[in-house]
């Protein structure tokens, strides 16, 4: 390899019916041409959404100093302690024009209003505006992911849409890990579906590795190992489905999801988080949304120790009879404290999945640092306290972002601040030339100033 040889960031490894995006390599950098020139790494953006809000006290940090620096997170957020210096926990963010399971979900990323009488989310969502900015720079403009919903509201469009192409057009969501994987790595139907993607592109990878540095060879190997690990996880889930289908008694004991969705919900969440990390690592896209559940989730979380009932029922933690809202008529609770603790355990479980993603991003390194430093992850809900359906003091935090964002603090005072100011700040940190988002012309100040 000569010092002047370089390749495009959009170079892909190709084989029969497969195409694999590559992570950022030294040989793609401008430094391959000018050793003294330092290239600014691209920034990525992910929004992770949970419905049903959180109980008061389950989100805000336990200890901050007089400058707002995070000293200790609360017990329900403790899985994020290893990343505390990379977090901003917001206070007094709100959505003045959208609230509740319907309007709040549909407008969480648009800053618009939703009156329920017509399909209108107020405009394009922040992720889709960012996607248009990057559309000629990556394989996919964006990824829109969601878990497969449970309960009576799974067919409600506004409850299942946070990403909007325009005011009346929700972006299609992917709920199956295999579908996400194929969008990134399968170039077309080849008839070779039983062969691994990494096997199909191996010859191209070998040719490239002969021309790059030792560091780049290591990056290519680590990246392809990660692709192969996800392939194995998906294949294992499919084998488990086949095994269950051949065992009638096992089939009878299981309430099974549709094809392509892992049976274990935790495994499902982690696989989807892996897809986000892989997409950003490959620079297949720089924008992603993930609805960790739909906007009024009735999913049972009885697989969490000490939890009984559906998520939405638990969110109304002041009602313990089991005969209100969409309770199942079978589950009741002995006290508000018991029910609120269960509600908090569900919140904590979802935060653990986010911590898993942050760990994956932090473990991925390139010449500019960790992928977490090059990714802004916004995690939160469109409802504050689930029982009250509150629109003020929304549970929202921001992770990552590197040196351009001053992290490790709680941000926000007694003044209510529109979440549109956060969205505008996210767009500007991505380099999108926008001076206004929804009603906001003032971005939230996230830097050191």
**Integer CA distances (angstroms), 396 to 80, 90, 132, in order:** 14, 6, 25
Instruction: Enumerate domains of the chain plus CATH numbers.
Output: 44-175+265-430 (3.40.720)
- Say if residue 257's pLDDT is above 50: no
Q: What are the pLDDT digits (tens) for 131-177?
A: 999 988 887 899 999 999 887 788 788 999 999 999 999 999 999 98
Q: Would strands 369-370 and 365-366 be described as parallel, antiparallel, or unpaired?
A: antiparallel
Q: Where are the alpha helices (DSSP H) in 283-368?
A: 311-315, 336-363
Instruction: Say how many Å lie between the first and final Cα of the chain, rounded.
Output: 44
pLDDT band of residue 288 (cuts 50, 70, 90) is very high
pLDDT band of residue 198 (cuts 50, 70, 90) is confident
The residue with greater pLDDT, 105 or 30, is 105
Tokens of 257: 């999801």
pLDDT, mean of residues 234-241: 64
Ramachandran region of residue 306, left (φ > 0), alpha (ψ -120 to 50) or beta? Answer: left
pLDDT band of residue 79 (cuts 50, 70, 90) is very high
Distance CA 135, CA 437 (A): 20
DSSP string, 158-196: GGG---EEETTEEPP-B--HHHHHHHHHB-S--S-TTS-
- Among 75-89, 119-133, 215-229, the minimum mean pLDDT is found in 215-229
Q: What are the pLDDT digits (tens) for 352-394?
A: 999 999 999 999 888 788 999 999 999 999 999 999 888 889 9
How do the residues of the chain divide into helix, strand and coil, expressed in percent and rounded to 5?
35, 15, 50
pLDDT, mean of residues 50-78: 95
Distance CA 117, CA 127 (A): 25
> From start to end of 282-381, where are the E strands?
287-291, 365-366, 369-370, 375-380
Are 9 and 21 in contact by the 8 Å Cβ rule? The answer is no
Q: What are the pLDDT digits (tens) for 388-434?
A: 888 889 999 999 998 889 999 999 987 899 999 999 999 999 999 99
Q: What are the pLDDT digits (tens) for 10-29?
A: 666 666 556 666 676 776 66
DSSP state at residue 19? E
- Say if residue 323's pLDDT is above 70: yes
> From start to end of 300-447, where are the E strands?
365-366, 369-370, 375-380, 396-400, 409-411, 417-418
């Amino acid at each position: 390899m000569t010092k002047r040889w370089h390749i495009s960031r959009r170079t892909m490894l190709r084989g029969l019916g497969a195409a694999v995006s590559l992570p950022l390599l030294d040989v793609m950098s401008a430094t391959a041409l000018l050793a003294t020139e330092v290239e600014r790494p691209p920034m990525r953006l992910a929004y992770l959404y949970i419905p049903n809000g959180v109980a008061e006290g389950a989100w805000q940090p336990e200890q901050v100093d007089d400058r707002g620096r995070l000293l200790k997170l609360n017990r329900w957020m403790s899985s994020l302690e290893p990343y505390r210096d990379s977090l901003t926990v917001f206070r007094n963010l709100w959505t003045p024009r959208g609230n509740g399971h319907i309007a709040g979900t549909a407008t969480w990323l648009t800053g618009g209003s939703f009156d329920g009488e017509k399909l209108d989310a107020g405009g394009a969502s922040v992720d889709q505006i960012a996607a248009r900015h990057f559309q000629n720079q990556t394989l996919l403009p964006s990824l829109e992911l969601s878990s497969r919903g449970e309960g009576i509201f799974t067919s409600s469009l506004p409850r299942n849409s946070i990403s909007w192409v325009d005011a009346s057009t929700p972006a299609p969501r992917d709920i199956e890990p295999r579908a996400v994987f194929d969008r990134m790595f399968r170039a077309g139907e080849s008839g070779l579906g039983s062969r691994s993607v990494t096997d199909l592109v191996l010859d191209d990878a070998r040719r490239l590795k002969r021309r790059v540095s030792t560091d780049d060879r290591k990056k290519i190997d680590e990246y392809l190992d990660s692709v192969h690990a996800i392939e194995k996880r998906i294949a294992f889930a499919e084998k488990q489905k086949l095994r269950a289908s051949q065992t009638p008694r096992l089939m009878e004991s299981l309430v099974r999801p549709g094809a392509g969705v892992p049976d274990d919900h935790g495994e499902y969440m982690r696989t989807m988080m892996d897809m986000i990390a892989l997409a950003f690592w490959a620079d297949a896209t720089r924008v992603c949304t993930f609805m960790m559940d739909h906007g009024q989730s009735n999913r049972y979380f009885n697989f969490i120790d000490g939890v009984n009932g559906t998520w939405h029922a638990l969110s109304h933690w002041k009602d313990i009879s089991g005969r209100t809202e969409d309770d199942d008529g079978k589950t009741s609770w002995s006290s508000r404290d018991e029910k609120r603790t269960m509600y908090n355990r569900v919140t904590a479980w979802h935060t653990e999945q986010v911590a898993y993603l942050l760990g994956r991003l932090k473990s991925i390194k390139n010449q500019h640092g960790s992928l977490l430093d090059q990714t802004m992850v916004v995690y939160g809900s469109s409802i504050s306290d689930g029982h009250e359906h509150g629109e003020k003091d929304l549970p929202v935090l921001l992770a990552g972002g590197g040196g351009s964002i001053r992290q490790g603090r709680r941000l926000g005072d007694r003044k209510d601040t529109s979440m549109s100011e956060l969205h505008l700040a996210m767009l500007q940190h991505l380099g999108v030339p926008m001076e206004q988002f929804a009603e906001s012309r003032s971005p939230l100040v996230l830097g050191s100033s």
